[in-house]
Structure 1
């Protein structure tokens, strides 16, 4: 079953997580219902793509109102396709929320066990990873393009949580809307990294089209890495929504030839005092 449900034209939410965890908000925005124009039409959430800052702030405020999570409680990152993951506290709130200038530098993952913080990251084909351990009130998010994926940002999140006393079998992961294997064609250079990451795995997450050209399933690759890290298969759910196939819903870096907006993944616990 598709874990991401259309809640509003502007976002998909992880329905079953929110039903089972009162006070949790978690999802991914679409491209609909915002203030941006041109190639960023309409709901561009990325400051770094050349859109008007005022439009991006307006779009972010719209989401803040829709999910009832104030913008000054968000955190955001300058993402670099690396595997740096930061633990966030309330002292960090507002960092990267309404400007790119003070976003967390060189960061592609966040986690926290505090309420009243919205962890946000931007996407336009890369894989959004959402993490939760309800027993520990721990939540996390990671941005996994092919580089972050083969460098195992998913495993690194599991390891961070292990250091916090959370066993892999207590972690649930949702792998979000992103580019599907049919739309994601890669070369030998990328596949060599994939092979190194999965050297002891028989089933491969790619198919050969012809010499030097392959279709790669990044979502399946992330699932394999999570399984290898000890997260049970029953704890992992994968979206079938494709950012490239579905032009009406999503921005796609590949489809739109680099000139496009960004969706935003978000996850946070609302403050119980609210």
Structure 2
């Protein structure tokens, strides 16, 4: 069953929430935006949340405000970073609450992962094909979010996020719930030998079997490969100690579904950004 459930109100942003998490944990808001329900014009139509893609800044901020209204949390709670496709993870406290919501200059700089145990903070990360990773420890009440493109994935940002949750707040990996959100899937994600070699090193490091390797990457010949970033991230989550029964994986492909989502690959780089969000109420 698809864990990300479409939520649409009349004349508002179309959102996808992890409904099972929000039903089980009433203290949590968590989900992923679509491309619909905002004010941006083509090619960013309409719910672009990225300030770095040459959209009109006032439109982007308005879209972010609309998302906050639809989520039902104050705009001042939404906290953004300048992402760099790395594996640096930071703790977000009340001091950082709301950073980056209205400008890039005020965003948390050079981070791709975030954790918090503070109520009233909504962590946000931006996507247009890369893999959103959501984390929640219901025992210690710690939320986390990570941006995993192929670079962040091979740098194991999932392990970095879990380690910070463990060392900072005492989380146990077996308690943590994880979700892999809508992103470009193996049906659409062709990569070259440079990327494939990095992925192969990771697969060797985790002692993946030949069947497991085949599930992650398929050789098309001529130096081209079809890469399943979701499955690679799932394996890395398992390697980090997350229970298989605690991992949700979306089947929604951003490249296949440009009627719902922005796709950097499918739309030739000229497109908007969705956000993933998670916050403690």
In the TM superposition, 1:12-27 aligns within 5 A as 12-27=16-31
Unaligned runs of 5+ in 2: none
Is 1:71 aligned to residue 75 of structure 2? yes
1:40 is paired with a residue of what secondary structure?
Answer: coil
Superposed counterparts of 1:104-123, under 5 Å: 104-123=108-127
Contact 2:68 2:78 in 1 (8 A): no
Asked if structure 1 preserves the Cα contact closer than 8 Å seen for 2:146 and 2:158, the reply is: yes
Give the structure 2 partner of residue 184 of structure 1: 189
TM-score (norm 1): 0.97
SS of residue matched to 2:139: helix
The 8 Å contact of residues 129 and 173 in structure 1, kept in 2 or not, is answered as yes
Contact 2:40 2:56 (8 Å CA) reproduced: yes
Q: Give the distance between the partners of 1:198 and 1:10, measured in 2 at CA.
A: 37
Q: Is the 8 A contact 1:71 1:98 kept in 2?
A: no
Q: 2:174, 2:27 → 1: CA distance?
A: 23
- Measured in 2, the distance between the counterparts of 1:106 and 1:157 equals 15
Distance in 1, Cα, partners of 2:6 & 2:50: 21
What are the residue-to-residue correspondences of 1:1-274 with 2, within 5 Å?
A: 1-8=1-8, 10-163=14-167, 164-199=169-204, 200-202=207-209, 203-204=212-213, 205-270=216-281
Distance in 2 of aligned mates of 1:95 and 1:162: 25
Bigger mean CA offset, 250-259 vs 162-171: 162-171
Shift of 1:71: 1.2
SS in 2 for 1:90: coil
**Runs of 4 or more consecutive aligned structure 1 residues displaced over 3 Å after TM superposition:** none
Distance in 1 of aligned mates of 2:59 and 2:3: 30
Q: Secondary structure at the match of 2:278?
A: strand
The DSSP-based 3-state class of the residue aligned with 1:266 is strand
Local SS of the residue matching 1:38: coil
| Alpha-carbon offset, residue 90 of structure 1 | 1.0
Structure 2 distance, partners of 1:182, 1:68, is: 35
Q: TM-score, normalised by structure 2?
A: 0.95
SS at match of 1:49: coil
Q: CA deviation at 1:211?
A: 3.0
Aligned partners of 2:234, 2:90: CA distance in 1, in Å? 22
Let me know the Cα RMSD of the aligned residues: 0.8
Task: For residue 101 of structure 1, report the CA deviation from its aligned partner.
Answer: 1.1
Unmatched 5+ stretches in structure 1: none
Work out the CA distance in 2 between the residues paired with 1:160 and 1:269. Answer: 18
